[in-house]
Amino acid sequence: MRLKYGLEETPPLPEFLLVSLQWLAVIGFILIIAGRVIAEMQYESGFEKTIYLQKVFFIAGLTLLAQLFFGHRLPLVIGPSAVLMVGIYASLESGFEAIYTSIAVCGAILFIFAITGKLNLLRRFFTERIVVVVLLLVAISLIPVIMDLILIEDPFYNLLFSIAFIISLFAFSVRFKSFWNFLVILWLLFGTVIHLWIFPKALIIPDLEIAGFFYGLNLNLTFKPEVIFAFLICFLALAINDLSSIYSLGEILKVSGMENRVTKGVSLTGISNLFSGFLGVVGMVNYTLSPGMISATKCASRSTLIPAGLVLIVIAFIPAVISLFGSIPKVVVGSIFLYIMCSQIAVALAMVKLEDIDSGLIIGFPVLLAVLIAFIPKTALDSFPEIIKPILGNSFVMGVLTAMLMEHLVFRSKYAGS
């Protein structure tokens, strides 16, 4: 990759500000969409949703700055883990305290694994076929959440709007690929304006004020082994995601000291998730979006992400800005999230290498099982024993466990070493 500015170089001020703005747009977009999705899962009132988004922005900004100065020190996008979003949705009946206590506990475990150099023990469990299954499972397991966002109000008209909106996003991305995928804040503005034009309603502009978010902190720790186990499976996937993101960008930029960067980077991800658990908010992870952003801007300078981290923290203390994000129609949020999940499925399908029918079964059975569990009626789910419901009723966890069983036990002799 030919770059104008390397990792430790600083561009001239005009380019520096432009690239920083693009990083902020990408990260801010991810936080808005993912934060809104989780807030809609958990809360009814606008006040609680705003508080949640404030905490998401704060922990993201803090984690980003910590990674840039003390962690992997690479220009990596950060955001809420989609795997943890699945875990939160599947464990809602266990209560918020149990969910965020589990995130804090698993964050601490991840930190210990990283700092002691045991991460390679995790990597050998995630073969290429299992990584494909994980990517597919995240998208499939979040379909009920997307359905709630798109179909909860005026399902007929919202479904038509969603289909037309997503197709238009694909059309724009094909024709204007050079900038459309990176000025992603346009997606929200475009969708919101079109929706308000078709379905007019008042847009409330809140008063500008400074306020904290010290509400809903998880100080009442609740340890439920079955919930912790379910989140441990989620954190296995999160750790592999984090490792892959750091290693892949390090390889692209040809930086030195990668083992040290990985250890520090994943350790900080663990600490961030520990902190997130106490704040009562979803944990963060490093994303794999950065290579495309760097390729488009020809700038790999990590210093350009520092202003983005600072602005995220400032926004966290201005609920008026967060409230504006909260006024984005649910169908727009759900449609964009579905669009993103389509991209994830595309990546998974591009990775698929089916050697024979058995290889397809390793991928197919866990995915179909996850679909079955994701759409189990609530009445049937309530009949499950409470002790195993967070595991057996979690489509992502059961899909990953089944994939590992198929790969490493059922077909172990056939695909040993593959």
Amino acid type, 298: K
pLDDT, tens digit only, all 418 positions of the chain: 678 888 889 999 988 988 898 788 778 878 988 888 898 888 888 788 888 999 999 999 999 999 999 999 999 989 998 889 888 988 888 888 999 999 999 999 999 999 988 877 776 777 788 888 888 888 888 888 888 888 877 889 899 999 998 898 888 777 766 555 555 567 777 788 888 888 877 555 555 555 666 666 666 788 999 999 999 989 988 888 888 788 878 877 888 888 899 999 999 999 999 999 999 999 999 987 677 677 767 888 999 999 999 999 999 988 888 877 767 788 888 888 888 788 778 878 887 777 788 888 999 999 999 999 888 888 888 888 877 877 888 888 888 889 989 988 888 766 555 5
Whether the pTM exceeds 0.85: the reply is no
Q: In sequence order, what are the residues at sequence separation of 6 or more whose Cβ sits closer than 8 angstroms to the Cβ of residue 95?
A: 222
State the DSSP code for 383. Answer: T
Q: What are the Cα distances from residue 307, in Å, to 5, 18, 44, 213? A: 17, 11, 33, 22
Q: Confirm if 170 and 162 have CB atoms less than 8 A apart.
A: no
At 299, is the secondary structure helix, strand, or coil? strand
Integer-rounded Cα radius of gyration of the chain: 21
Contact status, residue 297 vs residue 19, Cβ threshold 8 Å: yes
Burial class (CB in 10 A: 0-12, 13-18, 19+), 44: exposed
Cα pseudo-dihedral 195, 201, 205, 211, rounded to 10: -80
Q: How many degrees, rounded to 5, is the angle at CA 160 between CA 157 and CA 165?
A: 120
Helix (H, G, I), strand (E, B) or coil at 318: coil
The residue type of 158 is N
Determine which helix (DSSP H) or strand (DSSP E) holds 345, and give its type and residue range. helix 330-351
Cα separation, 27 vs 39, whole angstroms: 18
